Amino acid sequence: MTQAEIKLCSLLLQEHFGEIVEKIGVHLIRTGSQPLRVIAHDTGTSLDQVKKALCVLIQHNLVTYQVHKRGVVEYEAQCNRVLRMLRYPRYIYTAKTLYSDTGELIVEELLLNGKMTMSAVVKKVADRLTETMEDGKTMDYAEVSNTFVRLVDTHFVQRCPLVPATENSDTGPPPPAPTLVVSEKDMYLVPKLSLIGKGKRRRSSDEDATGEPKAKRPKQITDNKEPIPDDGIYWQANLDRFHQHFRDQAIVSAVANRMDQTSSEIVRTMLRMSEVTTPSGAPFTQPLSSNEIFRSLPVGYNISKQVLDQYLTLLADDPLEFVGKSGDSGGGMYVINLHKALGSLATATLESVVQERFGSRCARIFRLVLQKKHLEQKQVEDFAMIPAKEAKDMLYKMLSENFISLQEIPKTPDHAPSRTFYLYTVNILSAARMLLHRCYKSVANLIERRQFETKENKRLLEKSQRVEAIIASMQATGAEEAQLQEIEEMITAPERQQLETLKRNVNKLDACEIQVDETIFLLESYIESTMKR
């Protein structure tokens, strides 16, 4: 765990959950697994506050617990899961793209609350959608429920582990902490719920539609309380499935850039056919026959079987080897080499960074060393057609930044420089790790800059919010245009300009965070895939 990762985790925890949770979370990241009382003692926090902080972290899957032989429960932070919080906007946007506003709000609620029952999610999302609709229109629970089922069917949402029924029925003393389990077949099994109803709007008046005061309402609710049909069955967002979708999108985009739209559509069809059957960490997709691919192509693509076979042959013969041929049955069996694809994407990222940092001639040398594997300095000069002095300067610059490495091959055991070959090479894995570390530092700097910008203009932001609230309340009561204009003039022209500049800067920083996270995702996926092999 590097300092850059710890700092980024600290900023993310503080931004999402506040200072106390951040203090406990970072302490666990630094020290590893620890029991409750040791955490309270080391952080100087009261036992009650530590318990609440751990509850929040466990609810959001950021901390796990384990019971040891002596009955001591130890808590351990999941640093990788904390870093995933950076990707929350991307998960939500993906759900919106695939399943419209309803899917977006379902995933948003699950990410914001960590774990929720299906009935609670459906009711909350229906209420939120009803709020945004025109007067007289409401969102039906059944519609939200259908979208939830579709998300589960495509594995974007999955069940949380439960306490097994046998553990509850034991007559002996309860264990120090429950053991949670979930079977593979139940993970995507949706309970049969008959959720009947429509979303409700929040009322701004003190009285309900029936004219009864608010104070009387809680008592009525407790009297008519019915058992929740899916009580105890909690759901969470399946982040691995989202990552699989991001990886597939990156591969499709790479194929489109290298070849054409039809090739990318064929690859997209192959990935879509094997998205649920292929595990997220597998190096290859399941083999698919040419006939199966032809039958599964989108309706709008009117290409013949012969043209499809030509495209598949072209993809299989490509030097990048994104698509490979695994057999001849069924018109030819094809797989997508996910590991090779991620390797190519990581290499392209490294080349792009070298070009931006050191210029096109350095990028030429970098690509040359990548292609030839091992080269002496004289060979680099000759192949790249760059003068000796410049080539030496560029090589040393990249060597000092750890983009390329130097390998010594001695002729004699004494490693004398005159009798040693010095070969330049690119270790993609170590270069990817170095770049990933820099990306973490970049994101931490971006978050700190955004927080600084907001803090510097805090007074102005509060004033703007107050004015907007006054205007909204006056519009609701039917105020005249002149009165609204008068209120708007409370913010002067220079202040308005300052607000515009702040908004533009914050939007730019947010966009930068998302772009850096895309690079982080590619590098992490490549490193994870390489380590598994």
In the predicted model, is pLDDT for residue 497 greater than 50? yes
> Does residue 487 register a pLDDT over 90?
no
- Please state, in angstroms and rounded to a whole number, the distance separating the CA atoms of residues 182 and 187: 7
Alpha helices, H only, 139-191: 141-153, 165-169
The verdict on residue 215 lying in a domain is: no
Q: Give the pLDDT band of residue 165 (cuts 50, 70, 90).
A: low
Which of these three, 77, 110, 141, is where a domain ends? 77
| In-domain check, residue 224 | no
In a domain, 225, yes or no: no
d(CA 180, CA 160): 9
Residue 171 domain-assigned (yes or no): no
Domain shared by 324 and 345, yes or no: no
pLDDT at position 217 is: 46
CATH at residue 34: 1.10.10.10
pLDDT at 512: 92
Question: Residues 27, 44: one domain?
Answer: yes
Look at residue 423 in the predicted model and tell me its pLDDT.
86
| Alpha-carbon distance values, 307 to 266, 290, 393, 445, 506 (Å) | 11, 11, 50, 50, 49
Q: Which of 423, 445, 417 is nearest to 373 (CA)?
A: 423
* 24-28, 210-214, 308-312, 484-488: the lowest-pLDDT one: 210-214
Closest CA to 313 of 324, 305, 303, 302: 324
159 shares a domain with 109: yes
Identify the top-confidence range among 162-171, 326-335, 471-480, 499-508.
Answer: 499-508
For residue 258, count other CB atoms closer than 10 A to its CB: 14
Residue with the bigger pLDDT between 419 and 8: it is: 8
Beta strand ranges found along 244-389 (DSSP E): 288-289, 323-327, 333-336
Nearest to 11 by CA among 148, 243, 174, 19: 19
Domain endpoint, select from 286, 319, 336:
336
Number of domains in the chain: 5
The token duo for 165 is: 């029924």
62-119: pLDDT as tens digits: 988 888 777 788 888 888 899 999 999 999 999 999 988 899 999 999 999 988 888 8
Structural domain contains residue 523: yes
Q: Which residue range(s) make up the domain with 109?
A: 84-165+178-200+232-237
Domain assignment of residue 464, yes or no: yes
Q: Determine the pLDDT at residue 170.
A: 54
Are 89 and 193 members of one domain?
yes
Q: Write the single-letter amino acid at 274.
A: S
End-to-end CA distance of the chain: 22
Looking at per-residue pLDDT, the higher value among 177 and 454 belongs to 454
| 500-528 average pLDDT score | 91
DSSP designation for 206: S
Q: Kindly state the greatest CA–CA separation across the chain.
A: 97
Residue 221 has pLDDT above 60, yes or no: no
Query: Residues in the chain, how many?
Result: 533
Give yes or no: residues 345 and 418 share one domain: yes
Query: Is 151 in the same domain as 49?
Result: no
The answer to whether the CB of 152 falls within 8 A of the CB of 190 is: yes
Specify whether 370 is located in the same domain as 397: yes
Residue 326 counted as domain residue:
yes
Q: 65 by DSSP, 3-state: which? A: strand
User: How is 90-122 classified by DSSP, letter by letter?
Assistant: HHHHHHHHHHHHHHHHHHHHHHHHSSEEHHHHH
Specify whether 112 is located in the same domain as 146. yes
The answer to whether residues 104 and 90 touch, using CB atoms and an 8 Å cutoff, is: no
Residue 89 shares a structural domain with residue 196: yes
- The proportion of the chain whose per-residue pLDDT surpasses 70, expressed as a percent, equals 91
- Are 498 and 526 contained in the same domain? yes
Burial code (b: 16+ CB inside 10 Å, e: under 16) for 221-244 equals eeeeeeeeebeebbbbbbbebbbb
The answer to whether residues 519 and 442 belong to one domain is yes
* Domain termination site, one of 303, 336, 369: 336
For the cut 80, the answer to whether the pLDDT of residue 231 exceeds it is no
Residue 205, domain member (yes or no)? no
